[in-house]
């Protein structure tokens, strides 16, 4: 039963009403996943149903429809610059493929393969590709598949290789300004994108080094030097030959990422750096890779497509392999529309929950005892893990957790990057090692290794949460790892 506030004649939020939007969100997502499929449509519908429930609660507790709209509008206005970055990332990826930048770095990864350090190489290759592309899923579904095939040739345990591949993919994803989840984490906490990436280094670097050392020595213990000369599986050879046969290489193709790095060094806005790099890549695609101007426009808007290769003298490569199509056919501003719809739906939910008073109620209950840095970060980490476990969607979880905890970090004098890193280490890092999450299912299906088998070897993903908690516990003694205003 609702409790009425006699002073302002508004009905107070109870525990049941505060939890109702989350119950609706999880229930519709689970039911939709069972009877339809796990996809963006189910996520959006679940968010909208939860928003409808939160809106009814807002109206019932004395708020107005205008107030609900105003709160949602305020959230959208606050996040608009970051939403522009999300849009621009799709165009950048399409342009980088057109310029030959992404294919070039894929080839570098393939050339790094060495029989004596195969597991470490798998970790480094996917890490490099993920940094340059900003996508863990894309790295796993292209070079990751080739690497898992190589592991069979070398008779290296596939669960270890799969763990190394996923660790590398998520290491690169977390440090890439092209990653949508990295952008959303910064967006959710109200942190500058590059400041967020810099603060991630405190947990990412030690996790990376520990994982690398373990992969190196485990690889040496598993690989017998007398096995003979290493040979690429045919799909890797084919992929490499196709890339060399289609795209020109050389220094020119690495100019687009150099532009990004220079924009970071010169403290340009993330959007300005991405747009400039996109334009430079488009020009390289036209004047160096010999694509048409219409192809550059299409790559930016709708993504690169191998149909753009029609008319080229590459008949000896036809038909193109499925692996190359997976690598090249993506990007474009339009590819970000689905992610944008999900983010906007989450914003609507947050606006309705704030107007209803649910946000304040939850924050008061969750953070009543979180009066120290350790308790606050621990509470954030637990909440992030719970949200990703229940919703199975990283962006939605990040936005909700960020909205819940943002003000409390300010009260303790902690910079937003502490919150954004806690979101990454609790939400993004644990996502691929949960067997029931979308990412966990995707990784297991793509690599052909059960989540429960590769999870213990996804060392980078396990290290992030541990180091986050270490910095929280030792914040007074260490003197670094926690940033204050």
3-state secondary structure 314-345: CHHHCCCCHHHHHHHCCCCHHHHHHHHHHHHH
In a domain, 456, yes or no: no
In a domain, 289, yes or no: yes
Neighbours of 368 (CB within 10 A): 8
**How many structural domains are present in the chain?**
1
Distance CA 440, CA 138 (A): 14
Q: Which helix (H) or strand (E) holds 4?
A: strand 3-5
Query: Which residue in 289, 326, 322 sits closest to 308, CA to CA?
Result: 289
In a domain, 397, yes or no: no
Query: Which residue in 124, 152, 107, 93 sits closest to 323, CA to CA?
Result: 107
The pLDDT, as a whole number, for residue 1 is 35
The pLDDT, as a whole number, for residue 228 is 45
The pLDDT, as a whole number, for residue 39 is 61
Distances (CA, A) of 363 to 204, 353, 398, 422, 440: 29, 12, 15, 17, 30
Residue 414: strand pairing partners? 484
pTM over 0.75: no
The C-alpha angle 34, 38, 44, rounded to 5 degrees, equals 110
Q: At what angle do helices 337-356 and 40-60 cross, to 10 degrees?
A: 20
In a domain, 426, yes or no: no
DSSP structure class, residue 9: T
The pLDDT, as a whole number, for residue 147 is 78
In a domain, 115, yes or no: yes
| 223 and 118 Cβ atoms separated by less than 8 Å | yes
In a domain, 264, yes or no: yes
Domain of residue 292, residue span = 81-333
Per-residue confidence in pLDDT tens, the chain, 485 aa: 334 343 443 567 888 888 898 889 888 878 877 777 656 678 788 889 989 999 999 998 888 888 888 888 887 887 777 778 777 878 888 898 899 988 887 777 666 666 678 899 899 989 988 887 777 877 886 678 767 766 765 667 889 999 999 999 999 888 888 888 888 889 888 888 889 999 999 999 999 999 999 999 988 887 554 454 444 556 567 777 788 888 998 899 989 988 887 886 787 877 888 899 999 999 999 999 999 999 999 999 999 998 898 877 776 667 777 777 877 888 888 887 877 787 788 788 878 888 888 877 876 777 676 778 888 898 898 888 877 866 667 777 888 888 888 888 888 888 999 999 999 999 989 989 887 677 887 788 778 788 888 999 999 999 999 999 999 888 777 777 788 87
In a domain, 134, yes or no: yes
């Amino acid at each position: 039963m609702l409790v009425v506030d006699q002073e302002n004649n508004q009905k107070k939020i109870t525990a049941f009403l505060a939890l109702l939007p989350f119950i609706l969100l999880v229930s519709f997502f689970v039911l939709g996943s069972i009877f339809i499929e796990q996809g963006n449509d189910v996520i959006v519908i679940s968010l909208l149903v939860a928003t409808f429930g939160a809106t009814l609660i807002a109206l019932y507790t004395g708020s107005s429809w205008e107030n609900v709209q105003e709160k949602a509008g305020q959230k959208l206005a606050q996040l608009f610059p970051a939403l522009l970055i999300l849009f621009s990332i799709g165009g950048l990826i399409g342009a980088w493929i057109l310029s030959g930048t992404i294919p070039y770095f894929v080839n570098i990864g393939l050339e790094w393969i060495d029989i004596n350090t195969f597991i470490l190489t798998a970790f480094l290759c996917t890490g490099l590709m993920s940094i340059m592309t900003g996508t863990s899923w894309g790295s796993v579904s292209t070079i990751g598949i080739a690497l898992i095939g190589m592991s069979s040739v070398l008779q290296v345990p596939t669960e270890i290789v799969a763990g190394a591949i996923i660790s590398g993919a998520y290491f690169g994803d977390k440090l890439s300004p092209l990653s949508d989840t990295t952008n959303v984490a910064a967006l959710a906490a109200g942190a500058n994108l590059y400041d967020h990436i810099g603060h991630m280094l405190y947990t990412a670097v030690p996790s990376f080094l520990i994982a690398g050392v373990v992969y190196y020595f485990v690889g040496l213990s598993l690989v017998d030097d007398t096995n003979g000369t290493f040979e690429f599986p045919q799909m890797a050879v084919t992929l490499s030959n196709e890339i060399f046969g289609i795209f020109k290489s050389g220094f020119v193709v690495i100019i687009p990422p150099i532009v990004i790095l220079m924009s970071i060094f010169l403290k340009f806005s993330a959007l300005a750096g991405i747009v400039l790099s996109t334009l430079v890549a488009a020009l390289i695609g036209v004047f160096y890779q010999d694509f048409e101007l219409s192809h550059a426009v299409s790559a930016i808007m709708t993504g690169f497509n191998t149909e753009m290769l029609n008319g080229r003298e590459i008949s000896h490569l036809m038909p193109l392999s499925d692996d190359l199509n997976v690598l090249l056919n993506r990007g474009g501003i339009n590819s970000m529309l689905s992610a944008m719809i999900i983010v906007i739906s989450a914003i609507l939910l947050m606006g309705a929950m704030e107007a209803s008073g649910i946000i304040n109620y939850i924050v008061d209950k969750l953070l009543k005892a979180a009066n120290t840095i350790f308790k606050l970060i621990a509470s954030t980490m637990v909440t992030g893990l719970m949200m990703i476990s229940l919703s199975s969607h990283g962006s939605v979880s990040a936005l909700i957790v960020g909205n819940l905890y943002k003000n409390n970090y300010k009260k303790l004098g902690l910079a937003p990057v502490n919150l954004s890193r806690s979101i990454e280490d609790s939400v993004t890092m644990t996502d691929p090692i949960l067997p029931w999450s979308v990412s966990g299912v995707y990784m297991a299906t793509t690599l052909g290794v059960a989540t429960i088998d590769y999870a213990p070897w996804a060392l980078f993903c396990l290290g992030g949460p541990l180091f986050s908690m270490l910095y929280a516990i030792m914040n007074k003694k260490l003197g670094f790892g926690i940033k204050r205003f």
